[in-house]
Every structure is written in structure tokens, then in C-alpha cells.
Amino acid sequence: MSTDAQGYWKATLGLLTKILIVWALVSYGAGIIFAPWLNNIQLGGYPLGFWFGQQGAIYIFIALIFFYAKKMGEIDRKFGVHED
């Protein structure tokens, strides 16, 4: 494996690790583990823990998809493997 290929995969795995950490914090953290604490905060008349479990997580996941696509495009251009 060449140095560029190793750098590319290191950058890709680093991005995936960060995104999976955010995903886990939102899925399990905000929706389950921290829900009792978050329920002390109201958002639109609903407890914040409930809101994250029902709607907020979906918004975060959609944002993660766009973030991933943007960052992967940058990584691809940096290592010269982008599509035209």
C-alpha cells in the first residue's frame, strides 16, 4: 500500500470514527442515557429528551449525511481520487 493510500484510509477512518461517535452520543446518549436529565429542558412544550428521541436524532443524522459527503469530497480531492 502506498503512502498516499495509507493517508487516504487514515483520513477516511478518522472521519468515520468522528461521525460514529456523534451518532452514538445522539442515539444512545441524548435519546436514552441522558433523557431524564434532558427532560428538565422544554422545547416547543415537550421535554428535550423526548424531542431528541422522536425528532432531534433524525435531524442530526441527516446533518451527518451531508457533513460526511462534504468532508469525503474534501478528502477525495486532497488525495486525488475525486470524481469529475
Structural domain contains residue 59 = yes
Query: 63 by DSSP, 3-state: which?
Result: helix
pLDDT tens per residue, the chain (84 residues)?
455 889 999 999 999 999 999 999 888 887 788 888 888 999 888 888 888 777 888 999 999 999 999 999 999 999 988 887
Report H helices in the chain. Answer: 3-24, 35-38, 48-51, 57-78
CA–CA dist 1, 3 (Å, integer): 7
Q: How many domains does the chain have?
A: 1
Evaluate if pTM is beyond 0.85.
no
Q: Assess if residue 83 is contained within a domain.
A: no
pLDDT of residue 3: 59
Contacts of the segment 40-46: beta carbons below 8 A, 24+ positions apart:
none
* Domain interval for residue 58: 3-78
The reply to whether 84 falls in a domain is no
